[in-house]
Amino acid sequence: MHLKIDGLEFSYASIPVLSDVSLDIDSNELISILGPNGVGKSTLLHCINKILQPTKGTVFIEERDIKNESTKELAKMIGYVPCASTDSFPMTVVDTVLMGRHPHSRWGSLDDDLGCVYRTLKLMGVEDLAMRPFNELSAGQHQKIMLARGIVQEPRILLLDEPTSNLDIRYQLEVTRILRDLSRKNKILVIMVSHDINIASKYSDKMILMQNGKIFSVGEPKEVITEKSLRTVYGVNAEVVFDDGRPHIILKDPETPSPVFENDDEGAAFYSEISPGTTHPI
């Protein structure tokens, strides 16, 4: 799967949100996008799936400019699961998930579509909810059903905005593991926005760290999650330890003053590693 983002910029009215974002992803992996609130993570997803029209720049999928793709054709390539949707459908779970099959539906395909729905509900561990009304589910169940609806779409790229929100720690681990395995088994590119650095580090193949609408760092978790990057991007002190070769952060007392890099040669040098206009291969 080849996704290329070239010089992407986006502004809400006169307020810039994304600035010169370029990525070149040629893999079927689980990739996490991290960064503080308001840095443009969700906006980047919305530009990739054509919910938003970039102010500048282009998104290519297999060298095809998405601006030229119809909504239905794009839906065959890209699936999207929003963050903690407040949608409440007065229909069963099966019918709700079946909506994800719409781009592939054709005459006589209902049996195949239902088979895909039930396999996905089993994968998510919620097959017992199949005939329950969707609008009677808990927040955590609601989120897992929305994930199932994105998966049954069978896209080549699956975009997820905080897919483990509303889930307890056990299900956060389970769902993130499912997404990683899905990318490998089904050979699709899975890109998720996450605020949980430790869970993202545990399962992601690659990570994208954003700051102020730009890409700050890209690479494997051990390359992206460092004590320097956490101080620079999040303004927090943290110790980074390793568990099975993957970084795990231990936050320090938030009342401890954090270093300020404005006049810090080491910090400035680290920030300059990612120069404006760089296309980041993943």
Closest by CA to 88, choosing from 143, 35, 128, 126, is 143
pLDDT 10s digits, 245-260: 999 999 987 665 555 5
Q: pTM of the full predicted structure?
A: 0.86
Calpha distance 123→146 (Å, rounded): 13
Mind listing the pLDDT tens digit for each residue in 145-197?
Answer: 988 999 999 899 999 999 988 788 988 998 899 999 989 988 899 999 999 99
3-state secondary structure of 227: helix
Residue 231 is predicted with a pLDDT of: 94
- pLDDT of 58 over the 90 cut: yes
User: How is the chain split into domains, by residue range?
Assistant: 2-225
Spell out the CATH class of 2-225.
alpha beta
| Tokens 């097959």 belong to residue | 127
Q: How confident is the model at residue 133 (pLDDT cuts 50, 70, 90)?
A: very high
Amino acid at 165: S
For 97-121, how does the pLDDT look when each residue is reduced to its tens digit (9 = 90+)? 999 888 777 666 788 889 999 999 9
Residue 235: is its pLDDT beyond 80?
yes
Residues 164 and 112: beta-carbon distance below 8 Å: no
Instruction: Please name every residue paired with 31 in a beta bridge, in sequence order, or none if there are none.
Output: 191, 206
Give the Cα separation of 134 and 163 in Å (integer): 18
